[in-house]
Amino acid sequence: MAPQRTHSLLLLLLLTLLGLGLVQPSYGQDHMYQRFLRQHVDPDVSTGSDGYCNLMMQRRKMTLHQCKRFNTFIHESIWNIRSICSTANILCKNGKMNCHEGVMKVTDCKETGNSKAPNCRYRAKASTRRVVIACEGNPEVPVHFDR
């Protein structure tokens, strides 16, 4: 009787965590969410410089084999970013209707065009602007920076 009760309690705990959104149900979705975090989220900084872009693009492994031409870092808490997913759906660049928009503090890093991996060089542009993010899952989490 004890193993059945333990099993029932574990199942109840898992369902509770799923309901609260603390456990992601899909490996694919979780992988995309983790990639989004690595490539686009830096809440510890309020604005970025050229040196910031050069360092972060390398640290976040976006310069290993070739220089990523453009990347945006969002300087907000993950909870503020995730809240965008609860806004109205809008059309993404790829034609899907799973994008959402909000205003965030960001640093856009643009490759200078004359550097070679892994020593890529970037120009930074810090601003507060409208961003568009694709969200998926239940609960919805950001999985792609659209624009």
| Residue 40 is among the residues annotated as catalytic for this protein | yes
Q: How far apart are CA 70 and CA 57, in angstroms?
A: 10
Overall pTM surpassing 0.85 (yes/no): no
With contact defined as beta carbons under 8 Å apart, do 93 and 117 qualify? Answer: no
Catalytic residue among 7, 65, 100, 144: 144
Flag the least confident range among 25-34, 41-50, 68-77, 92-101: 25-34
Catalytic residue among 7, 31, 40, 75: 40
Kindly tell me the number of DSSP H helices and DSSP E strands found in the chain. Answer: 4, 4
Q: Put the strands of the sheet holding 70-74 in their side by side order.
A: 70-74, 99-111, 122-136, 141-145
141 pLDDT band, cuts 50/70/90, is very high
| Residue 144 is among the residues annotated as catalytic for this protein | yes
Listed by start position, the domains of the chain span 26-145
Of the CATH numbers 3.20.20.140, 1.10.3720.10, 3.10.130.10, 3.90.260.10, which one belongs to the domain with range 26-145?
3.10.130.10
Q: How do residues 13-45 score in pLDDT, each as one tens digit? A: 444 544 445 444 455 578 999 999 999 999 998
